[in-house]
Amino acid sequence: MNKRLMIIVILIVLMLLSVLSLGTGAVSIGLADLIGGRLSSTEYQILMDIRLPRVLLNITVGAGVATSGAAIQGLFRNPLADPALIGVSSGAALFAAAFLVVGYQSDTLRDLGLLQVGVSGSAFAGGLLTTFLVLMVGRSSSSISNMLLAGIAINAVALSGVGLFSFVSSDSQLRSVAFWALGSFSAADWEMVAVSALILPFLFLIFLESKKLNAITLGDQEASHLGVFVPGLRRRVIVYAAIIVGIGVSLVGVISFVGLVVPHLIRLSLGSNHVTLIPGSALLGAILVMLADGISRTMFAPAELPVGILTAIVGGPFFIYLIVNQKERLGI
C-alpha cells in the first residue's frame, strides 16, 4: 500500500475510534444521537466535561510519547531506545513522588487548591532536570555511548529515589504514588487539554528534523559529511522529546511501552524514513493510548484500571515477540 495512503487510513481509524470513545462509558451515548446532536442535558455534560477532554488528552499525549520514541530511536540508532532513556520519565516520577509525600502535607497548598498543580509542576521540572543532567554528562564526549550510560545511571538513581519515597510514605500517600506512576486519564479536564496543546508545536519541530534524523542513522561521520551538525541535532531532539514527554507525564503519569513499541509497528509497515515514520508514529500512538484508556475505564467499570498497567501487559510480550521474530526487519 502507498505510504501516504496508509497514513490516511491510520488517520481515519483514529477519527472513528475517537467517535466510538465519546459514546462509550458507564452512560452509553448512541452514535446517531452523538452525530445528530440529540443529547439530553446530562449526556451533553458528560460529553463536554468528561469524555471530549479525555479523548483529546489521549490524542496529544499518545502522539507525543510515540513521536518522541521514534525520534530517540533514530537519534541513538538503537531500536531498544525510548524516551525513558534520557531520564525524563524517571526524573518526573521522582519529583512527583517527592511532592506527593512531602507537598501533600502542606495545609497552605491544600487550602489554595494547588496540590494537583504542584504534582504536575514537580513532575515537569524533574523530567527536564534529569534530561539536562544527561545532556551535561554526554557533552564530555562526542560518543553517544556516554549519553546512553548517563541516562541508564540517572534512571537507576531516580527510580531508587521513588522507591525511597514509597518506603517512607503513609498508606494513602503510597497509593497516590503508585497510581500516578502507573498512568491515568481519569482526571482529564479542559485545563489539562490546554496544557497538553503545548506538545503540538514540539511535535512539528521534531518532524522538521526528519531528514536530518535519516542522515544520522547512517552514523555521525556520514551525517556530518551530509551537512548535519550532529551535536546540535542531538541537543535539539533530546530537548524537544524531554519537553513533550515531561508535559505528558506531568499530566497523566507514566505511560510505558508506547514510545518503545509504536515506532516499531510503523517501521514494519511504512519503513524507516522519518518523514513518514514520525507522523505515522504520532497517529498510531494516539490510537493505542485511546484504545488502552477505553479498555481501562470499561473493563472494571465503575472502577478504572491504570492505563500504564494495560500498556505494559500488552506491550511487554509484544515487544519480545518483535525481537524474536522480526530481528532483521527491526534494524534502523
Q: pLDDT, tens digit, for every residue of 216-261?
A: 888 878 888 888 888 888 889 988 998 998 888 888 888 888 888 8
Peptide bond into 306 cis (omega under 30): no
Residue 24 cell numbers, joined: 462509550
- Which CA distances in Å does 156 have to 85, 90, 160, 163, 239? 11, 8, 6, 11, 21
In single-letter form, the type of residue at position 290 comes to M
Q: Letter for the amino acid at 87?
A: G
Q: What is the largest CA-CA distance in the chain?
A: 63
What contacts 263, CB < 8 A, 6 or more positions away?
Answer: 66, 69, 70, 73, 277, 281
8 Å CB contact between 215 and 223 = yes
C-alpha cell at 290: 485511546
Domains annotated for the chain, with CATH where assigned, are 3-325 (1.10.3470.10)
Q: How far apart are the first and last CA of the chain?
A: 21
Other C-beta atoms closer than 10 Å to the C-beta of 18 total: 18
**Rounded mean pLDDT of 198-219?**
91
Across 259-272, average pLDDT: 87
CB 244 within 8 A of CB 200: no
pTM of the predicted model over 0.95: no
- Tell me: the pLDDT tens digits for 14-58? 999 998 888 777 667 766 667 766 777 777 888 888 889 999 999
Q: Which residue has the cell 497517529?
A: 283
The DSSP secondary structure of 173-202, one letter per residue, reads HHHHHHHHHH---TT--HHHHHHHTTHHHH
